[in-house]
């Protein structure tokens, strides 16, 4: 495995967890007034596109990474709708 491969897999693992701090913060604070609903709607649609792309290439790294981010985006959409006002 090359240095670029290792960096790519590490970066991908971190990417999949990017939304986690926001999910935890919103879950605890029960407040999402300042959070953009549109951001997570765009992210969710975008992750679905990446999952289809990953499936077309039969690339499980792309599929799994984006499935995690999609799940977190959907959770944030629910939290925003619940705590957004």
Report which DSSP code applies to 35: S
> Smallest distance from the beta carbon of 14 to a second copy, in angstroms?
5
Residues that bind a second copy (CB under 8 A): 3-4, 7-8, 10-11, 14-15, 17-22, 24-26, 29, 31-36, 38-39, 42-43, 45-46, 49-50, 52-53, 56-57
Handedness of CA 78, 29, 32, 69 (dihedral sign): negative
Distance of closest approach, residue 35 Cβ to a second copy, in angstroms: 5
Residue pair 27/79 in contact (Cβ under 8 Å)? The answer is yes
């Amino acid at each position: 495995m090359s240095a670029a491969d290792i960096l790519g897999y590490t970066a991908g693992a971190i990417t999949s967890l990017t939304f986690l701090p926001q999910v935890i913060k919103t879950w605890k604070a029960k407040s999402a007034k300042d959070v953009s609903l549109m951001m997570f709607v765009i992210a969710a649609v975008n992750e679905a596109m990446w999952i289809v792309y990953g499936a077309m290439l039969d690339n499980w790294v792309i599929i799994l990474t984006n499935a995690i981010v999609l799940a977190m985006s959907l959770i944030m959409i629910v939290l925003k709708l619940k705590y957004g006002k």
